[in-house]
Chain A
Amino acid sequence: MYIGAIVTVAGGGRMGEQALPMSARTAEPTPARNSQLLFDTPVAFCEVLGEPLLNRVVKRLRASGVDQVSVISEGAKDKVTAIDQLVLGGNFWSAWDSVVSQYLHHGVEMLLLVRLGPYVEINVNEFVQFHRASASPITQAYGSGRPLDIVLVDADSLRGGDTSYRNQFSTLLPHRAHFRSQGYVNSLSKPEDFRKLVSDGLSGACAIQPVGQEVRPGVWLGSNAAVDERAHLEGPVYVGANARVGASCVISGLSSIEEGCEVDCGSSIDDCSVFPGTYVGMGLHVGHALVSGAKLFSLVRNIEVAFGDRRLIASTLASRCQVTSTTTRFLRPMRSLSTTRLSSRMSKVASLVSNRWLG
């Protein structure tokens, strides 16, 4: 069976905001759905335990015997690997029609349509078998009592029509068969859903495996991750590739520190997902939150807080720039001053400042 998949990356609004209802797109009367943007990035592009969610989905499809995978993004651009074709921006439906046309031209027998969106672990082989046994040209997967954004279509049913593939697809939808999936489902409609996905990956509740080595039970380290020997990791936790965890840090509560992050000395991270390239300053306590660059989303208060101070929370690039510029600023006077004289001046300045404002 020659199967071609089209994975649609949702990205029309922030998590929790309502996106266009499905009915506006496919003339199908389904309830309005949430779209998935997290820190202004489609959730499909967000890294989960060392690998973007989209890559994981594409790999799963390939491992299940899907021959070709194309990805169409509803909006944002990002780096995606392990796919045959990536269509970005532009008119979504003309891109969709174009990909379907190419698949039919290459002799694809079945089309698997996946919207990401929700994260679903479906047994593709069972899904295909069910579809072939049913008399319907189209089958939609259902999980936890609601429709999932996964549909299987006979390619023949789309061939030879006079209208666009989109219209033909819309005509078929009312005749769809229902496949009940028993696999893991996460709607990813709210930031806490993303956090749950990471926790479920670490606790083994879903098929997502951390990318790296399990150095001791429940403690996963990516390649070149540097954890100070005085730091304490309470598993299950994940520290991604090239990430750094400083002395006296405590990482706990199913937290993930993704690739290239830096957690500075004495900070504690509990029940958090720290997105790639984030710097967490010294002596902080970050709990029940998602952290990305200079932004923190508090899962307790359901608010996003932006930081303008690079010593608290920032992107690692920004914090390195600051260190470099500070070093340069201090190195210039040091050429003419001895270290003792410099520190003496700095003490005087500090003393003057404190006297002026506090005394």
Chain B
Amino acid sequence: MNIQTMTQIKVAKYLDTREARNFASRIKSELAAEEPCVIVDLSEVEKIDAAALDLFLRCILRVAKQDGVVRLAGLSPQAATVLELTRMDRIFAMFPEGAEALPYYEAPSVDMPARELVQHHSAA
């Protein structure tokens, strides 16, 4: 996978439906690339609502269908708590900081491969 295609997207303080839509439109441009790689920076997130999580998840599935990867980085304690609460922490590999995500990305994949993720979600 080509590291140069990697994009980092920073999510705002309150991840509500509106912010999730912004995120979706930014993801759209990434979908043009083959095997897109998106690192989502959640370091500033303080609140997440369920509708946003749903939309967020669907965006990520869309990237996965393109054989891309989405990884979460720079998780704020609030975001980590909400992801654990909603069990989404089981789906994604999460890294503490955006920059620290790089070596993980270069290393062999530790999270669920894209195709498996899609199959897993479709089966569920």
A→B interface (CB under 8 Å): 281, 283-287, 296, 298, 301, 303, 305-309, 311-313, 354, 357-359
Contact = CB atoms under 8 A, between A and B. Distances in A.
A354 B61 CA distance: 12
B50 A309 contact: yes
B120 interface: no
A287 B49 contact: no
B51 A287 contact: no
Given A298-B77, A358-B24, A286 B85 contact: yes
A303 B77 contact: yes
**Residue picked from B48, B81, B82, most chain A C-beta under 10 Å:** B81
A286 B87 CA distance: 9
A309 to B, nearest CB: 4
Contacts of B82: 305, 312
Interface string B63-101: 000000000000001101110111100000000000000
Contacts of A312: 49-50, 82, 85-86
Contacts of A313: 85
Given A354-B58, A357-B55, A296 B49 contact: no
Nearest to A298: B81
A311 B55 CA distance: 15
A308 B47 CA distance: 8
A358 B58 contact: yes
B37 interface: no
11 contacts: A285-B86, A285-B87, A306-B47, A307-B49, A308-B47, A308-B49, A309-B48, A309-B50, A312-B85, A357-B25, A358-B59
Contact of A284 (B47, B58, B85): B85
B10 to A, nearest CB: 19
A349 to B, nearest CB: 14
Contacts, number: 54
- Interface of chain B: mostly helix, strand, loop or mixed: helix
Given A311-B50, A358-B24, A296 B59 contact: no
Contacts of A359: 62
A252 to B, nearest CB: 16
A303 B45 CA distance: 14
B49 A309 contact: yes
Given A281-B50, A358-B58, A359-B62, 15 more contacts: A285-B85, A285-B87, A287-B84, A296-B85, A301-B77, A303-B81, A305-B78, A309-B51, A311-B50, A312-B50, A354-B58, A357-B25, A357-B55, A357-B58, A358-B24
Contact of A296 (B16, B62, B81): B81
A189 to B, nearest CB: 21
Contact of B86 (A284, A303, A357): A284
- Interface of chain A: mostly helix, strand, loop or mixed: mixed
**Residue picked from A284, A287, A306, most chain B C-beta under 10 Å:** A284
A357 B24 contact: yes
**Residue picked from B24, B51, B58, B84, most chain A C-beta under 10 Å:** B84
A305 B49 CA distance: 12
Interface in B35-52: 47-51
Nearest to B62: A358
3 pairs of A and B residues whose beta carbons are closest in the complex: A309-B49, A301-B77, A311-B50
A311 B124 CA distance: 20
Given A281-B50, A306-B47, A309-B49, A357 B21 contact: yes
B84 A285 contact: yes
Contacts of B85: 284-286, 296, 312-313
A359 B61 CA distance: 12
A256 to B, nearest CB: 18
Contacts of B49: 307-309, 312
Contacts of A305: 78, 81-82
A288 to B, nearest CB: 10
B87 A301 contact: no
Contacts of B55: 357
Contacts of B51: 309
B47 A301 contact: no
A284 B87 contact: yes
A131 B82 CA distance: 53
Nearest to A280: B85
B50 to A, nearest CB: 5
A313 to B, nearest CB: 8
Contacts of A285: 84-87
B60 to A, nearest CB: 11
